[in-house]
Amino acid sequence: MQPVVAGGHICHRREHDRRNRHRDRHGGTPRIAAVILAGGKGERLGGVIKANLEIGGVRLLDRVTEAMTDVASPILVAHGGLDPVVLHLTGQHVPIPDLPADHAGPLAGVAAAIAWCCAQPEPPEYLASLAVDTPFFPHDFIGKAITAIGSESSAIIARYGTQDYPTNALWRLSAVAALPARIADGTAPHSLKRLAAELEAKSLEWPASAAGDPFVNANTPADLLALEARAAARG
């Protein structure tokens, strides 16, 4: 594979070299960064900041942060057009704004995270992404995704039943390193769904359970009521 230039950095070559050194030191454990997509304003919820909504007495941002704490570092927070101050981030979080471009939404957040990762002295091998309004994101999803991605696949997308969730995914950094530059020059796909299709991403089919879809989002007042009831049932 040829080196990919992203944000002024040859991300693929640097990631490859640093990865090999890291594996020498840490016994083959892949380096994974995570980005929480937290820029949503919840228009169908009256314009609230989704990240600050509570399910079961716990903020959505705190719930998804907990799901990533033991599997990814650093944990980036793509805050879109929001002032990161309103998200009450902790020292565990690294706030990143969207790149200056016409793109917005989840694709812009993932692209900003890719640019940030590629600019680091030791870029991670993988970038995990998850939507902030996914309160029941499985804590073992990333581990299963690492197994599923193998050595050749470019990305793994969450699926439950017939529904794909491209916001909840694992991306091989070298495969997506050019996305920030493509956004800048207008050649990028316009959604994570299209990016996943372009990469021929594999779906990780989550087993059905009585608890229901773990990737379901909070988009409407009815969704919030259902998620609150689910949290209460879990205790």
Domain harbouring 96, CATH code: 3.90.550.10
What's the confidence (pLDDT) of residue 96?
96
Could you tell me if 177 and 19 are in contact, meaning their C-beta atoms sit under 8 angstroms apart? no
**DSSP single-letter state for residue 161:** T
Cβ contacts of residue 190 below 8 Å, gap of 6+? Answer: 103, 107
In this structure, is the dihedral angle defined by the CA atoms of residues 50, 112, 179 and 123, taken in order, positive or negative?
A: negative
What's the confidence (pLDDT) of residue 26?
42
Q: Could you give the number of structural domains in the chain?
A: 1
What's the confidence (pLDDT) of residue 89?
96
Cβ contacts of residue 212 below 8 Å, gap of 6+? Answer: 230
Going from the C-alpha of 84 to that of each of 77, 87, 168, 208, 224, the distances in angstroms are 9, 5, 22, 36, 23
Q: Residue 128: beta bridge partners?
A: 34, 170
pLDDT digits (tens, 9 = 90+) for 79-118: 988 899 999 999 999 999 988 777 678 999 999 999 999 9
Structure tokens at 136: 């029941």
What's the confidence (pLDDT) of residue 166?
96
* Distance (Å, whole) CA 137 – CA 124: 22
- Using DSSP's 3-state secondary structure scheme, residue 117 falls into helix
What's the domain range around 201? 5-234
Tell the residue number behind the tokens 């030191």, with chain if given.
25
- Segments of the chain scoring below 50 in pLDDT: 1-10, 13, 15, 17-27
What's the confidence (pLDDT) of residue 115?
97
- Using DSSP's 3-state secondary structure scheme, residue 65 falls into helix
What's the confidence (pLDDT) of residue 214?
95
Q: Which residues of 143-170 are buried (b: 16+ CB within 10 A; e: fewer)?
A: eebbeebeeebbbbbbbbeeebbbbbbb
What's the confidence (pLDDT) of residue 28?
66
